[in-house]
Copies of this chain bind each other. A is one copy, B any other.
Amino acid sequence: MGKHYLLNLYGCSFVLLDDEQCLIELLENAAVASGATVVQTISKKFEPQGVTVICLLSESHISIHTWPEEGKAAVDVYTCGDCQPKIGCDIIIQQLFASNHTLSYIER
């Protein structure tokens, strides 16, 4: 039922992790770069900080939840079909300038 990457990011900047519009663009770009098609994107800016963005894809979903005050984010890149979700993970790791990360792969 597809390829699922669970990516935990550490040491990211507060500003980036609290920027809802930036994270929307990042996730949509990562989805497209993985070969996926974005059907719909939803997001929520929490108070006093923190953002969730979720893209519903034709090929499953991609999501990010952030804890800016701790420099942490949890990302899922889950696709079925011929996509290459690892490419999306690499883009997110790079563009959030994570000082550290863990990446788990699950074949569903």
Further contacts, 15 of them, CB under 8 A, given A6-B108, A60-B74: A1-B65, A1-B72, A1-B74, A2-B65, A2-B74, A4-B6, A8-B108, A39-B44, A40-B42, A42-B42, A42-B56, A46-B58, A52-B56, A65-B80, A104-B106
Of all chain B residues, the one with the shortest Cβ separation from A8 is B108
Partner of A61, one of B39, B52, B80: B52
**B residues near A46, Cβ cutoff 8 Å:** 58
Contact B67 A61 (CB under 8 A): no
> In the bound complex, how far is the Cα of B76 from the Cα of A76, in angstroms?
10
- The interface residues of chain A, by DSSP majority, are classed as strand
For chain A, which range describes its interface: under 10, 10 to 19, 20 to 34, or 35 or more residues?
20 to 34
Is there a chain B Cβ closer than 8 Å to A54's Cβ? yes
Given the interface pairs A40-B44, A61-B52, the reply to whether A67 lies near B1 with Cβ below 8 Å is: yes
Is there a chain B Cβ closer than 8 Å to A34's Cβ? no
